[in-house]
Amino acid sequence: MGARASKALLAIVALAAVGLGGCSAQSGAGAPVTITVAAAASLESPFTEIVAQFERTHPGITISSTSYDGSSTLATQILEGAPFDVFASADDRNMQTVIDAGMVQEADVFATNTLEIAVPAGNPASITGLQDLARDEVLTVLCAPEVPCGAASEQLLKLAGVEVRAASLEQNVTSVLQKVAAGEADAGLVYRTDVLRDDAVTGITTTGAENVVNNYPIAALARSDHADAAQAFVDFVRGEDGQRLLVDHGFGPGA
């Protein structure tokens, strides 16, 4: 084989190698991926629908599980290495903890929420406002101060000048709602959206609640192995369909 023929053969082999490499990359680009979401307990109802709709409109991306709990609990799990891809918090404080640890580049507020008094159906203790929660005979449950609903409750009661001796301090708003719904408590402070999702309780709007608004930020976690899929879910929550579902469940608009 002459020199000219050898060079031509090498060029053909090189082009073939590039072509095969390209095919390999393209075949991997559409591979199915699975992500996990950590979301505040108060988001369970809308996120159940959001996840289902997201998966229908994003074939190839599956949400393997969504962990609902108090935002402070979820933030601690993330700091300890829990393999989440997305974090949706019920307040700025716990998201900031994750940002400060370098696990999130930026977060966007996608919803807001306010508090209401929840009482069992029929309102057996005749609760009409925050002052009634301080009555000796009234059994009141609150969220613990370190979780968002607890911090908001503390702020609301302070603004109203009401001091409440809680029968128990719960680690997430769902636990407060369940105790009131079961009749184990006469009243509890929960989010307005929680009252809407449980027919066993009645909501009582409180004066000054509009001055204590919880922001809900969401972010894709920086260490996610599926950053594009995680960001696609974040974009969906902040997009038209996600926002419509959140409003349907009583949430206020995000930033």
pLDDT in tens, 24-53: 333 334 689 999 999 999 999 999 999 999
**Is residue 173 part of an annotated ligand binding site?**
yes
Distance CA 79, CA 81 (A): 5
pTM, two decimal places: 0.81
Q: Which of 206, 202, 167 is nearest to 181 (CA)?
A: 202
| Higher pLDDT, residue 19 or 82 | 82
235: left (phi > 0), else alpha (psi -120 to 50), else beta?
alpha
* DSSP β-ladder status, 33-40 and 201-204: unpaired
Q: Which of 38, 106, 100 is nearest to 73 (CA)?
A: 38
**What is the per-residue DSSP string for 100-159?**
HTTS-S--EEEEEE-EEEEEETT-TT---SGGGGGSTT--EEEE-TTSHHHHHHHHHHHH
Q: Which of 68, 40, 95 is nearest to 221 (CA)?
A: 95
Cα distances (angstroms) measured from residue 6 to each of 9, 10, 19, 132, 151 = 5, 6, 20, 94, 76
pLDDT of the residue at 64: 94
**Is residue 191 part of an annotated ligand binding site?**
yes
CB 174, CB 147: distance < 8 Å: no
**Is residue 71 part of an annotated ligand binding site?**
yes
81-93 pLDDT, tens digit each: 999 999 999 999 9
Lookup: tokens for 65: 């599980």
